[in-house]
Amino acid sequence: MDDQRNTRRRVAVTGVGLVTPLGIGVETNWEALSQGRSGVGPITRFDARDFPTRIAGEVRDFRPEDFIERKEIKKMDLFIQYSVAAADMALASSGLKINDDNAERVGVVIGVGLGGLPTIEEYHSLYLESGLRRISPFMIPKLISNLAPGQIAIKHGAKGVNFTPTSACSSGAHAVGEALRMIRHGYQDAVICGGAEACLSPTGVGGFVAMRALSSRNDEPERASRPFERNRDGFVMGEGAGVLVLEELESARRRGATILTEVIGYGTNGDAYHITQPSPEGIGAARCMALCLEDAGIGPDAVHYINAHGTSTEYNDANETKAIKRVFGEYAARLAVSSTKSMTGHLLGAAGGVEAAFTVLALRRGLIPPTINYEERDPECDLDYVPNVARRAPIEVALSNSYGFGGTNVALAFRRGDSLA
């Protein structure tokens, strides 16, 4: 393993783009995270008055025409529009130029969970009303998940790998991890990667309502997502996209790029236990974090912060806490852990990309985002969750955890860019 680590290429994050319920762009999102501000509110995307859950983390103030030609917008479901916008911002911040010399060495990997569910609903209704004549030839490319990376590649001319991991709420994190591997082992020199999701539709919300997975704290939406807190009653659905530009470290340095962080570890595995519940005592998640630390070549005490999966559900939060304690032992009590889902809600397939971006920003800016709405301690969740107020801290290494239905797990490890040797 040591020989492999010595020969593999190092990978830097040079760009970040964000579209979330907290706003559009890095600075808008960072201001909200720093202030502990929630992006959750009443559902406006459809009439939810008869739903037991009527709140969500909707993206507001998004103008697709700021990023996409008007004639192209109608060809893209909202999740694709979000991914294109986030990729534009990430590429602009990285300064990476894609041209004939490097196009085949630049890939795009965007994780998506449910894909174009609103488009499916729209065209199913049109079919029932008017038959085949109302179905558009753009329907399929508008809704299929891999047109998120596809549209990004078409717009920017990236001719390297192009695909979509679909692994529920781990999708975006898998995209970042697989991008790391491809650069590390020489298959690509740069990858635009992350996650996107936009399924705040009657069927999307209704499906999670039927599972009894969602919070019904409708009268106080900003206080509904409360990871690790005793009175949590389910997660809050959200939408958006988070995209990173990953590059081989030395080539990024040669072109004068700002190195935001280094991606140093990736762990992924499966619980093989249940279609929705995590494995008991956090065993699968613990193995995943241990694999990530091994891949990074660091011990548990090198980690200063964990951006937790932290969904605000009974089972996830208790099991993730147990998993952290399994891996970090006594040190877990001194480790800062927070869930930014307390502010954004759960962005499903986009969550891993968005939270990887938040972790990069926390390292870069030396500020740990809080877990808001933390009012009453749960005896089963007894770690330092950075309650309610962001914390200034000189963090060097951080993990970002993502878990999904079917028992799929991902952990990513990042090291602060200005501390690199």
Give the DSSP per-residue string, 262-296.
Answer: EEEEEEEEE--S-SSSPPGGGHHHHHHHHHHHHHH
Last residue of a domain, one of 220, 254, 288: 254
In a domain, 319, yes or no: yes
- Whether residues 243 and 289 share a domain: the answer is no
Q: Which residues constitute the domain of residue 52?
A: 2-254
In a domain, 260, yes or no: no
In angstroms, rounded to a whole number, what is the distance separating the alpha carbons of residues 420 and 55?
A: 42
- Whether residues 323 and 200 share a domain: the answer is no
In a domain, 421, yes or no: no
Residue with tokens 């970090």: 328
- Whether residues 203 and 335 share a domain: the answer is no
Last residue of a domain, one of 235, 254, 273: 254
156 is an active site residue? no
- Whether residues 382 and 237 share a domain: the answer is no
Last residue of a domain, one of 232, 254, 276: 254
User: Which of the residues 193, 292, 346, 381 is marked catalytic?
Assistant: 346
- Whether residues 192 and 52 share a domain: the answer is yes
Which of 194, 192, 159 is CA-nearest to residue 174?
Answer: 194
- Whether residues 43 and 150 share a domain: the answer is yes
pLDDT of residue 420: 57
- Whether residues 242 and 335 share a domain: the answer is no
Whether residue 249 contacts residue 258, with contact meaning beta carbons closer than 8 Å, is answered with: no
- Whether residues 38 and 151 share a domain: the answer is yes
- Whether residues 249 and 328 share a domain: the answer is no
Which tokens belong to 158?
A: 């990236």
- DSSP, res 384: B
- DSSP, res 350: G
String of b and e for 391-421 (b: at least 16 CB within 10 Å)?
Answer: beeebbbbbbbbbbbbbbbbbbbbbbbeeee
- Whether residues 245 and 166 share a domain: the answer is yes
In a domain, 323, yes or no: yes
User: Which of the residues 156, 169, 292, 381 is marked catalytic?
Assistant: 169
User: Which of the residues 174, 193, 309, 381 is marked catalytic?
Assistant: 309
In a domain, 172, yes or no: yes
- Whether residues 201 and 340 share a domain: the answer is no
pLDDT along the chain (421 residues), means of 10: 72 98 98 98 97 98 97 97 98 98 98 97 95 94 98 98 98 98 98 98 98 97 98 98 98 97 98 93 97 98 98 97 98 98 98 98 98 98 98 97 97 85 47
In a domain, 320, yes or no: yes
In angstroms, rounded to a whole number, what is the distance separating the alpha carbons of residues 337 and 227?
A: 11
In a domain, 69, yes or no: yes
Number of H helices, E strands in the chain: 14, 15
- Whether residues 285 and 235 share a domain: the answer is no
In a domain, 352, yes or no: yes
Domains in the chain, number: 2
pLDDT of residue 421: 47
pLDDT of residue 2: 56
Q: What angle do CA 126, 149, 207 make, to 5 degrees?
A: 45
381 is an active site residue? no
CATH at residue 79: 3.40.47.10
The reported pTM is 0.97
Q: What are phi and psi of 244, to 5 degrees?
A: -115, 150
